[in-house]
Amino acid sequence: AQTVTQSQPEMSVQEAETVTLSCTYDTSESDYYLFWYKQPPSRQMILVIRQEAYKQQNATENRFSVNFQKAAKSFSLKISDSQLGDAAMYFCAYRSPRTYKYIFGTGTRLKVLA
Amino acid sequence: EAGVAQSPRYKIIEKRQSVAFWCNPISGHATLYWYQQILGQGPKLLIQFQNNGVVDDSQLPKDRFSAERLKGVDSTLKIQPAKLEDSAVYLCASSFTGTTYNEQFFGPGTRLTVL
């Protein structure tokens, strides 16, 4: 069975600085999708960025980028030029192309300090 | 485009009572997911529908939870009878299809408190 682990329950970053959130996963599948979701205090979960495992190039979306290390089963999220609006819970998620099921980590609470 | 709608937003009940949650997915989305998110944890998939058929309900406590998706559109999740440990946020999500990657859109959730 696949598992997703986020070892940082909480992280803090100064406004305009850069922060990296960690995620590791375990799977025996060779092809899959990985995601980072953001959940602000209002609870509506939104997609931040996704990575297809067959792609070697790391995904980037504006200030958000990932460091995908397939052999190490690591998928970290880097947020550059942090803004107050980035404060939220961030969840790493795995999606199997075989079962179509999403598996989420326990989340990292990001605080942005003014 | 309208997002995923859920109601109610909040519900407080006593243990052993029954409760039902409603979800209206984004128009045209064939796949619908129900998740349970306990405080401090990530969402856990309870059930996944493809149109009106169940794809995965392996983590649904079937002795007390039930779900249906009428005509492949709206869905209802029911708990009967509720236990204290059912206190959580219940999230509904939908995507265009589950067979290939398509973005999963979440609703605002229903916060259930069982006293």
In this complex, the residue of B91, B98, B109 whose CB is nearest that of residue A100 is B98
Which strand ranges, in their side-by-side order, compose the sheet holding B75-79?
B5-7, B19-24, B75-79, B65-69
Cα(B71)–Cα(B82) distance, integer angstroms: 27
Q: Which pLDDT value is given to residue B98?
A: 55
Please give the residue range of the domain that contains residue A32. 3-113
Partners of A58 in beta bridges: none
Distance CA A57, CA A59 (A): 6
End-to-end alpha carbon distance in chain B: 37
C-alpha Rg value of chain A to the nearest Å? 14
The tens digit of pLDDT for each residue in B20-54 reads 999 999 998 988 999 999 988 899 999 999 888 99
The confidence score (pLDDT) of residue A101 equals: 82
> Could A45 and B45 be called an inter-chain contact, meaning their C-beta atoms sit closer than 8 Å?
no
Residue % of chain B over a pLDDT of 70: 95
Task: Select from A95, A101, A107 the Cβ nearest to the Cβ of B42.
Answer: A107
CATH of the domain at A107: 2.60.40.10
Contact B106 A50 (CB under 8 A): no
Nearest Cα of chain B lies from the Cα of A24 at a distance, in angstroms, of 14
Structure tokens at A98: 């075989």
Q: What is the pLDDT of residue B99?
A: 54
pLDDT of residue A55: 87
| Arithmetic mean of pLDDT, A20-47 | 91
* Residue B13 and residue B20 in contact, taking contact as beta carbons nearer than 8 Å: no
Residue B1: what pLDDT? 61
pLDDT of B56 strictly over 80: yes
pLDDT digits (tens, 9 = 90+) for B2-17: 899 999 999 999 999 9
Domains of chain B: 5-97 (2.60.40.10)
Q: Do the Cβ atoms of B56 and A101 come within 8 Å?
A: yes
| Length reported for chain A | 114
Residues of A in contact with B43 (CB under 8 A): 45, 91, 102, 104
pLDDT digits (tens, 9 = 90+) for A56-99: 889 999 999 999 999 999 999 999 999 999 999 999 999 987 77
Predicted confidence (pLDDT) per residue in A98-110, tens digit? 777 889 999 999 9
Residue B1 is classified by DSSP as -
In the block, tokens 């392996």 appear at: B58
Measure the CA–CA gap between A108 and A106, rounded to whole angstroms: 7
Choose the mutation target among A46, A48, A89, A102 for the interface with B, i.e. most B CBs under 10 Å.
A102
Give mean pLDDT, residues B69-94: 94
* Total domains present in chain A: 1
